[in-house]
Amino acid sequence: MTPPLLNRWTDSSTLSLGILGVGNIGMVHLKSAAAMPSVEVVAAADAVPGNRERAERAGVSRTYDDYTTLLSAEDVDAAVVALPPFLHADAVERAAEAGVDVFVEKPLARSTEEADRLLETAREGDIAVGVDHTLRYQPDMQGVKAAYDEGSVGHVPYASITRLNDGPLGRPPAEDAPASWPLDADAAGGGSLLELGVHCFDVLEWLFGDLEVRDASMGRSLETDVEDAATVLMAAPETGTTITLHCGSYQWEQLPEVNTRLRLEGVTGTISNDDYLPGNFYADAAKSALSNVASRFTSDEPDVFGPTFYLQAHYDALADFCDAIREGERPPVDGEAGRRTLALAERAYELAAAEAGETDGEANETDAGADDRGTPEVTR
């Protein structure tokens, strides 16, 4: 049996966390936080009894069926908001009332308008906002950035990123009832572009600086309320790079295979994230596991989620947030970064809608920057 990893640190510098939402990703955050030095998960909240029971089995001593009750009853330093997007703004508002810093799952909000209200509430409550954009924490993406920053292929006129998975409907055999909110435009704010594309926008901005959306197209392979495919054409003026982004939740995914492809086409060659992924996932996982076992005997901290690099990225993102809170610094991926990804997504929706004749040509095709708050409402 794995012993609970909680309460490893109890000195006064310990950061106390509450986890709001302990579904799949919330449990990853809970387990990440529980394994962090100087972090203590003191409580978790979830409306689903089974999720609360999982949190309790993971060592959380107090659970609540309502995140507002947790925030009013517990004295926590920070909260992880791993709730569906339609609850993010309310959860941040409650956290601001309690003076609790927040680490919010992506997308930060369902729209820039909602994000602005959320960030204003956070400012008024003097709380920090971090966003869980994890691609930039993956070792393959960090390998690409290091090679790019070293100038290893010279000027990069073109880059492409693709992120595909099977979304809420999954793949055969059909086993569990799919959640309804990810396919509900009102609840999620959008489809694949808000679920996956925002991660891509974040990593592209991290690589190339400010981005400008030039064109976009949305697609649906089934009759769903939201898109399950998005393609976006962008420019990065600072680096003179043209970029295409394609994301979709239409492709069956078989973990540990993850279909995330980033290619930078430079003058002297190509930088690909494939070059920085383990050649054999299982061999690499075994190597990492052996290293962690050895660290037990050398009194080193284990590399948490070491055998699974995409979960390790979530650990690193939350750890960075916790470090920043502890040091009184701005989170490295903050609310403004999360808002910028929403602005890019909204611009893409506008252009796609205009292309499809769904608006009256209101979308300004000249040069709407990513941060243009005056862009018209889009009918999707």
Partner 1 sequence: MKNETVRAARIDDADRRGGWDPDVDARLAALESPVRDVLGPALEELSDAERITIVPDAHYPFHPSSGMVTDPAVVGAIVARLEDRTDAEIAVAGATDDRIDFDRAAEYLGYPDLLERFDATLVDLADEPRTGGLSGVEDEPVALSVPTRLAEDAVVVVPSLRPTADGPVAGAMRTLAALVDCDAGADRAPVAVTRSVEPTLAVLDATVAYGGDPIAADALFAGSAPAVDAVATSLLGRSLEADPVLSATRRTDDPVTVDGAGVDVDRLRGRISDGALPPSDDPHPAVTTAYRLYAAVAGDAVPPQLEGGR
As measured in angstroms, the least distance from the Cβ of 179 to partner 1 is: 11
Tokens linked to 177: 């009832």
**Nearer residue to partner 1 within complex by CB, 255 or 267:** 255
**Nearer residue to partner 1 within complex by CB, 4 or 143:** 4
Burial 287-321 (b: 16+ CB within 10 A, else e): ebeeebeeeeeeeeebebbbbbbbbbbbbbbbbbb
**Nearer residue to partner 1 within complex by CB, 69 or 180:** 180
As measured in angstroms, the least distance from the Cβ of 305 to partner 1 is: 6
Comparing C-alpha atoms, which of 95, 129, 118, 124 is closest to residue 21?
Answer: 95
As measured in angstroms, the least distance from the Cβ of 206 to partner 1 is: 25
**Nearer residue to partner 1 within complex by CB, 201 or 315:** 315
As measured in angstroms, the least distance from the Cβ of 352 to partner 1 is: 18
**Nearer residue to partner 1 within complex by CB, 182 or 335:** 182
d(CA 196, CA 169): 15
Comparing C-alpha atoms, which of 171, 222, 223, 219 is closest to residue 197?
Answer: 219
Strand stretches in 46-192, DSSP E: 62-64, 78-81, 101-105, 129-132, 158-164
Comparing C-alpha atoms, which of 326, 161, 165 is closest to residue 234?
Answer: 161
Beta-carbon contacts of residue 24 (< 8 Å; ≥ 6 apart): none
User: Which residues bind to partner 1, rule: CB under 8 A?
Assistant: 1-3, 5, 24, 27-28, 31-32, 34-35, 54, 57, 169-178, 180, 183, 221-224, 250, 252, 254-255, 289, 292-293, 295-296, 301-308, 311, 315
As measured in angstroms, the least distance from the Cβ of 281 to partner 1 is: 13
As measured in angstroms, the least distance from the Cβ of 103 to partner 1 is: 17
**Nearer residue to partner 1 within complex by CB, 41 or 98:** 41
